[in-house]
Amino acid sequence: MLRKYELSVTSELDNLASIGQFIADTTRALGLSGDEAFAVEMAVDEACANVIEHAYDGKPDGTIEVTCYLEEDRLVVTIRDHGEPFDPASVRCPDTECSLKYREVGGLGLHFMRTLMDEVRFEFDTPEGNVLRMTKVRH
């Protein structure tokens, strides 16, 4: 039987703490290691902050739905919103070798998600909303 953990919150920055606690509790319940859990928490935090800031333009009246479950040896996290979609291909890869003095502010969220997780996939469908599916292989 598939154990699914679900959380739905409004698009308020204050809810990032609730999302983080939900991910911490869920990864613990599903048996991820401390390092794996930390990576998932960081990636989900970045993703949800991006949803709030960009998809909902900072407006607190949107909804963010987070779902977690195990699929064989991997944790699957889906984040659904009904805000503005975006083209992930339009996000430039950050120059991580550049001195901090010359780096642009922001722009690292997608890079962190892709670095911390084993798979990051976006789906945009108006009736169903925007769905980000990230996976982390358990070791």
What is the enclosing helix (H) or strand (E) of 14? none
Fold of 4-137: Heat Shock Protein 90 (3.30.565)
Where do the domains of the chain lie? 4-137
Residue 3 — φ and ψ, nearest 5°? -90, 115
The tens place of each residue's pLDDT in the chain, 139 residues long, gives: 688 999 999 999 999 999 999 999 999 999 999 999 999 999 999 999 999 999 999 999 999 999 999 999 999 999 999 999 987 777 666 555 666 566 555 556 788 899 999 999 999 877 889 999 999 999 8
Measured CA to CA, the distance from residue 11 to residue 56 in angstroms comes to 7
Predicted confidence at residue 102, as pLDDT, reads: 60
Predicted confidence at residue 98, as pLDDT, reads: 62
The whole model's pTM is what? 0.88
Predicted confidence at residue 76, as pLDDT, reads: 98
Predicted confidence at residue 97, as pLDDT, reads: 63
